[in-house]
Amino acid sequence: GGGITIGNHCKIGPNCQIYTINHPLDYMQRRQPVETGYHVTIGDDCWLGGGVILCPGVTIGNRCIIAAGSVVTRDIPDDTLAAGNPATVKRNLR
């Protein structure tokens, strides 16, 4: 797998899912016993609401809030609140 790094002082709500493995779209490639792992990083002092999904390879910056039920498909910069499916930055927290 790709591995997961969780920073200090994080709050992770119930039913959150963190995915690190990705499979090819091509059906012939999926027949091969090979998976690709992408590291997921959650910075320090983050809060992930309940039911958040983190997709392979994303980085959540430091001091971020991810709203409940959000699906994070891209990196989220430091000091931001992100929400939605896909998650987008809604406001700066600084």
Token code pair at residue 71 = 């699906």
Q: Active-site residue 23, yes or no? A: yes
Indicate which residue of 11, 23, 30, 74 is catalytic. 23
Name the residue among 28, 59, 29, 23 with its Cα closest to residue 43. 59
Catalytic residues: 23
